[in-house]
Chain A
Amino acid sequence: MKTYRTHLMVCAGTGCVSCGSLNLKDRLESELKDRGLSDEVKVVITGCNGFCAEGPIMVVYPEGIFYKKLSPEDIPFLVEEHFLKGRPVEKFLYTGSAIKEKVPLLKDIPFFQYQVLRALRNRGLIDAENIDEYIARDGYAALSKVLSSMTPEEVIQEVKISGLRGRGGAGFPTGLKWEEGRRYDSFPKYIICNGDEGDPGAFMDRSVLEADPHSILEGMTIGGYALDAHQGHIYVRAEYPLAIHRLNLAIEQARNYGLLGKDILGSGFDFDISIYPGAGAFVCGESTALMYSLEGKRGMPRIKPPRSTEAGLWGQPTVLNNVETFANVPAILLNGGEWFASLGTGGSKGTKVFALTGTVSNVGLIEVPMGTTLRTIVYDIGGGIPEKREFKAVQIGGPSGACLPVSLLDIEVDFDSLDKAGAMMGSGGLVVMNDSTCMVDTARFFTDFSVDESCGKCVPCRVGMKVMLNILNRIVEGKGEMEDIERLKRLGHHIKETSHCGLGKTAPNPVLSTIRYFRNEYETHIIEKRCPALVCADLIQFRVDSEKCKMCGLCKKACPMEAITWEKKTPAVINLEKCIRCRSCIQACKFGAIE
């Protein structure tokens, strides 16, 4: 086997690819070749590294030096300096956000320091398109152990001991689900991996599928063995072409290695997996709707009972788990349930992957132990709020989730405490919002999303959510009434109580939680007809406060309609007849002079 002195791990997650990491890789390879380093330095394309904010990312091993925001033009210099002369290039190193110092090593960067990688154990370390690299990191060891030395009951027992709960949002104990599925004596049975990740701002599943597809295949195969199922389906968003590509490659490789298909590892156990690209409906993330979609029907949730474990896909016992859940399975089986349960809180064991986005310094994909506080996530890992803005809220759980205020920053993030706070773990989208966010508008945004994505089956979700949206619209247009807040609450509770599926049952959460924690903003909108965050265009006067105006003229430049008149040393004036209320001036003004 060929050995290299240095490995360059170039991140090829969707984020880094979109800012050019593949060009970077080509340039690196040609540069290394030109300098005769091809035999000493190897370029490896990895899945998402996680620190998306700093992309394109390259990590140099064995040292673990973290390079950020590289461009192909930087490569000749970098290769020259680092790989020929052995001097890491300082200008591409990460700079701390709190203390402005260069941090050369990945392990010292705060973003990574607080993370514990279990589901993402192979991120940034392996070439996702090469099964050997997965195997080298103990990949398929769990499967081998399971098939050679464990009974299906033991496998289920181990998963139960681990306390693993479904990572798709509802947090149903995985071991119990598997046990249910095993109990029914009807064949064939199916295993389904739910990769229909539809929450705005969430990309955990995509990253796992792109970075470590084999861990999903292995997890599903173990699940298949536990259930006596022989067919697995992965339902993945068609909007994730890279994930689909890598999954296809992975399946092919696993089949060639005898890790999928007939008689896996000579154990006599057969299991195969197929991929099904979804057609883009959010509701197809709901398990029964997903199964309908898989069957070629309209994605609409069906009544329960029976549960899918009794009668799911094609009426047969079916176990459906989320991508992250399956990613955890091999590690649990390899290291034992106790190991997994050693992290986390009472009812929530292990770790959770979050997609940390919004107005936070370090946007990216993180994995933290259950019970980590929001403060740690936002400030330590996320590096706090940039541009000297104030933290306002964290939106957790997507359109089913809630907005948590500053007072709840010390909440321990796990299934139960989030539930208590009226929020929901969801699949793990975490959107940080600063003081320029209007909470009414945020609630309206998520409600609009739910109205759009409702399947239209049951009355409360189909009509009720639209009524809520209409009320929110009239509030942000300045036509709200004080009774509207109570109306929204009543409607919200009614929809939660009477809706058919998880989508409808949680769709009012963004509104209810913002009313609970940010009621004053609603009142300001309704009584004062004012949007404090200057987001709701109808409630902005578009008037320049001449006291605050520093007469810089930036607003004039920003205005696309030439509605602002300004001359040096005079405050700007907005011509309301020309103004189209696009808010460009507000964003341009650094002094908050436009109200």
Chain B
Amino acid sequence: MHPVPVMYSGMQVRSNRINTGVLEYWNVGILGLNQYDLDFNCSHHSIIPFFQYSIISRRIMANRTIKLNIDGIDVEVEKGKTILEAAQLAGIRIPTLCHDRRLIPFGACRLCMVQQKGKSELLPSCFTPAKEGMEIITHSPEIIDSRRLQLQFILLNHPMICPRCEKEGECVLQKLVYEYGVEETLYPWKHISSPPDDRSPLLHRDSDKCILCGRCVRICDEVQGVGELSFSKRGIKTVIDTDFHRPLQCEFCGQCMDTCPVGAITSDRFDYTIKAWELKETTTPCPYCASGCSLTLSSKEGEIKRVSSDSAKGPSDGNLCVKGRFGLDFVDHPERIKAPLLRVNGTFREASWEEALRFVAQKLETIKDQDGPDAIAGIVSSRLTNEEYFLLKKLFRNVIGTSQIVHGGESSMRGLTEGLAKTLGLAASTNSIQEIRKADCILVIGVDPTQTHPIIRNEINAAIRRNRAQLIVLGSYDIDLTWSTHISPLLPSSIALLDRPGMEVTLINAMIQTILKEGLEDKTFIEERTEGITELKEEITALQPQISGMMESNKNEVEKAARIFTQAKRAMILIGSGLWSHLEPKDIAIASSNLALVTGHMGKESCGVLILLEKCNSQGAVDMGFFSEREGNGRKYLLQKASEEKLMALYLIGENPLVSSPVLGRQALEKVSLLIVQDLFMTETAEMAHVVLPACSFVEKEGTYTNLERRVQKLIPFRPPLHQSKSDFDIFLSLLRLLEYPIQGETPEAVFEEIGRDLSHYRGIQDGEQWPKGSPYLYAEGFPNGKAKLIPVNGGLTHQKPEGYPFHLIQRPSLFQSGLLSSKSDTLKRVSEKPYMEMNPEDGKRLKVEDEEVVKVSTQDGRFLRMKVKYSSRPVSGVITAPYPCSLIEEKYIETVKVEKLKII
């Protein structure tokens, strides 16, 4: 009887955007938003377009503020703000339970009711817009009475077990009940109860305590784009639950717990061990990815009990991912090295710092004297502070006299930043993370931010949902984010430019070609601010044969993507530094920069190129000059040199070559006569060392990290170094002293000042400020070299597949495992997924490999792995993925392999 409703048949999408003349009239700059925010829509998975309201009201009173009076205080606010926001501005507290600054107002708790003077009607202040001339009363007898009754209602079904609740002392409900003097009610009530749900790791939910404010549901959907929780059942039986009441299978970011005003969602890390008032809070940047979220560590007796984020600090707007919130237990891992170790007769013995450092200093001096400074080399990780890098550079350059101190890992990071430096002038991302949400076209190249940079994923998600931004994915692997574009028929569906590994530059060149061919380029911008357009045009035209070599499916899509990218008012390019496939990352950076320059998407808010660096201080390492070395002097070169017995001493700081390059690493380490390993943990590499120096963790030291948006943030220790460990800073400082090198300042602050003298960008930069001079985006006033360079790049190099090895294996990043630190977090291990290999079903069917079948994957040099196959349309045909860390992958992020069926036994 019922035909399937065809909802969108005949739907006339006349225009995706509001692009009439009225738009120009609308206000720019209110709420930190801009005219493109006008496109905010209600595509939120379950929520509504509150922002749209402020947009429309702005149409009427563009660029104006309004004045109102709240409790006798005159307040002036921007048009579009709510009464609640206006009151907060005036310092008047209106009680709320369901309100969270990050979320669209919901209006469920009904506690924020206020009145207009002379009117009896109660207005919910959390979503009622402030209007000119309003006279608001926030606490009249009627209002208080109404709030009291509301609280009574909530308490009717709320278990009164506060002394046994983890939230005691910071529970919003508890505070309000106390403040409003809510007494026990005489209303008849039968308690409606459901058992607590502790089946999920990390997060426990207790429906009994839940007051159904919906904050967890909304943050999971609106901010995270995950939508794991939702309202279930209705009326008084309403509960918050997962679909079909299954255990959580989410990102475990803990945002739901963070926003819960009562104790309905808690972590087992906190359960019954502590009360809120016993906690000591310290703010410090996160040691994981380069987003550099600000962490507020709540600790008791030197142990981290809980992590949250201060919305006023860092780029994360108060949000955190699973690693930042739950992954910090590595600092207390039992494998932390307790004391300096010296190898004597093949075994380690504990030594004093004095002895160990003297040994190192003497050895280094001897080798330097006997074999020359170039017999000594060092490899350092991206997790040191800027000050430590500075001292380390002094140690190698000035004391030992070699430039053989390089940065480990991330071979592509150097290329990417260098590429940008070549074309634009500075080796850094051009814009800030929070600008992403305002872009209306986002090109994501070779990275899955959901796994690597969840905070940036949140921004992209916001741009897609609120701004109807167009997402373009370029690479050999499709990403999760494309899902976000399916939640409304009015969202532009994402464009995936997927091709063989190594085709990135060609695809970008093809986009530029379309733009130039169709005359879409920003001619004024090119004319005034760039040089080299003629060469670029010539070279791009000459690339035709290569461009025609891309997959057939991409040909139309590339053109479409090029047009949308160009026509977007604000377009951003995000490039992953853990590039999966391309041979020359520098070319990708240059090609991307070309694309941004020819379209004029540069030097403006929400327009530019962002490099998603991997580690917490990758940008600092770049800034401190660890990449401006001559070519061919990288980590692989040094390991090669060591394996050829041309190196006597190797100093590894936070580096573990036995894991990152198992074959070459072992060959190299076995050959050096002095291996110094400085690390937090007794790694495989440390086991081979002659001297092991225990470094301390980020919560035990001072200094600064610079995040990928050039934000310099200060580390604040909340406890002294564990065991006998020392900060890298102190270790380098002692070595410099022993080697009799004069240091001007001996504290991180003093060294930071010295950095400022060397690097003008760092001069006078305050904690939390972005260099240069606090600029959120670069090149607003021009390029350092006058004009930006358009440099043609040839994407000719693609990965070759030797006969018999038809697959490219790429390492898929994992949200829960990103390197040494996460591998030492037991909490993250509890939620990590079981490893599996993704394979395009097309390939699977060709090889007659079934979904869920275990296969053998082997490399040319005979190494192999057995892994379960999962069909997935995310990798293109010819590409398989394995999760990080994959032992088959050496140095690069890609390996050519063959896949064989296991014999059926």
**Which chain A residues have a beta carbon within 8 Å of chain B's beta carbons?**
184-188, 230-231, 233, 238, 241, 244-245, 248, 261, 270, 272, 274-277, 281, 283, 288, 292, 294-295, 297-298, 300, 302-303, 305-306, 310-311, 314-316, 451-460, 462-464, 466-467, 470-471, 473-474, 487, 491, 494, 497-500
Contact = CB atoms under 8 A, between A and B. Distances in A.
B212 A462 contact: yes
18 contacts: A184-B56, A230-B14, A241-B2, A245-B1, A272-B11, A298-B230, A305-B127, A311-B53, A315-B52, A455-B234, A455-B235, A456-B234, A457-B106, A467-B153, A497-B121, A497-B122, A497-B146, A498-B122
Interface stretch (B15-23, B261-269, B734-742): B15-23
Residue of B2, B10, B43, B105 contacting most chain A CB atoms (<10 Å): B10
A217 to B, nearest CB: 13
A281 B150 CA distance: 25
Contact of B5 (A245, A277, A283, A466): A277
Nearest to B16: A187
B235 A459 contact: no
B45 A281 contact: no
Interface in B117-134: 121-122, 124, 127, 129
Contact of A474 (B108, B188, B489): B188
B285 to A, nearest CB: 36
Contact of B48 (A187, A188, A276, A303): A303
A270 B12 contact: yes
B7 A456 contact: no
A186 B234 CA distance: 34
Contact of B127 (A298, A303, A452, A462): A303
A459 B105 CA distance: 15
A306 B154 contact: no
A181 to B, nearest CB: 13
A118 to B, nearest CB: 30
Nearest to A501: B107
B52 A456 contact: no
Interface in B144-197: 146, 149-150, 153-154, 156-157, 187-190
A188 B107 contact: no
B884 interface: no
A306 B41 contact: no
B113 interface: yes
A470 B236 CA distance: 12
Given A244-B2, A261-B10, A464-B153, A306 B56 contact: yes
A499 B149 CA distance: 13
Contacts of A303: 48, 50, 105-107, 124, 127
A130 to B, nearest CB: 19
B270 to A, nearest CB: 27
A311 B18 CA distance: 13
Contacts of B11: 188, 230-231, 272
Q: Is the interface of A mostly helix, strand, loop or mixed?
A: mixed
Contacts of A274: 5-7, 9-10
Give the 4 A-B residue pairs with the shortest CB-CB distance, closest first: A456-B238, A315-B41, A272-B10, A315-B42
A281 B234 contact: yes
B110 A314 contact: no
Nearest to A497: B122
Contacts of B238: 455-457, 462
B75 interface: no
A248 B4 CA distance: 11
B490 A238 contact: no
B-side interface size class = 35 or more
B231 interface: yes
Contacts of A261: 10
Contact of A186 (B9, B18, B121, B187): B18
Given A311-B41, A470-B187, A298 B46 contact: yes
B86 to A, nearest CB: 16
B108 A458 contact: yes
Nearest to B155: A463
B334 interface: no
Given A248-B3, A462-B235, 9 more contacts: A187-B12, A187-B14, A272-B9, A274-B9, A302-B47, A311-B42, A315-B488, A451-B235, A466-B236
B318 interface: no
Contacts of A233: 7
A447 to B, nearest CB: 12
Contacts of B45: 297
Given A453-B234, A498-B146, A311 B156 contact: no
A452 B108 CA distance: 18
Contact of B236 (A241, A302, A305, A462): A462
B13 interface: yes
Contacts of A466: 189, 235-236
B49 interface: yes
Contacts of B18: 185-186
A491 B185 CA distance: 13
A397 B270 CA distance: 52
Nearest to B212: A456
Residue of B12, B45, B106, B212 contacting most chain A CB atoms (<10 Å): B12
Contact of B188 (A185, A276, A471): A471
A184 B60 CA distance: 12
Contacts of B52: 306, 310-311, 315
Nearest to B491: A314
A295 B187 contact: no
B816 to A, nearest CB: 30
Residue of A298, A314, A455 contacting most chain B CB atoms (<10 Å): A314
A230 B47 CA distance: 25
A311 B113 CA distance: 24
B428 interface: no
Contacts of A494: 146, 149
Contacts of B10: 230-231, 261, 270, 272, 274
Residue of B40, B42, B108, B157 contacting most chain A CB atoms (<10 Å): B42
B156 A463 contact: yes
B767 to A, nearest CB: 38
A275 B10 CA distance: 13
B233 interface: yes
Contact of A314 (B43, B53, B234): B43
Interface in B80-135: 105-110, 113, 121-122, 124, 127, 129
Nearest to A487: B187
Contacts of A272: 9-11
A311 B53 CA distance: 8
Interface string B315-331: 00000000000000000
Contacts of B654: none
A454 B105 CA distance: 20
Interface in B536-580: none
B214 interface: yes
B54 to A, nearest CB: 9
A242 to B, nearest CB: 9
A241 B3 CA distance: 11
Contacts of A491: 149
Given A185-B22, A316-B490, A467-B188, A453 B235 contact: yes
Contacts of A294: 7
B22 A297 contact: no
Contact of A498 (B13, B113, B490): B113
Nearest to A262: B10
Contact of B488 (A295, A298, A471, A473): A295
Contacts of B41: 311, 314-316
B237 interface: yes
Interface string B505-543: 000000000000000000000000000000000000000
Nearest to A248: B3
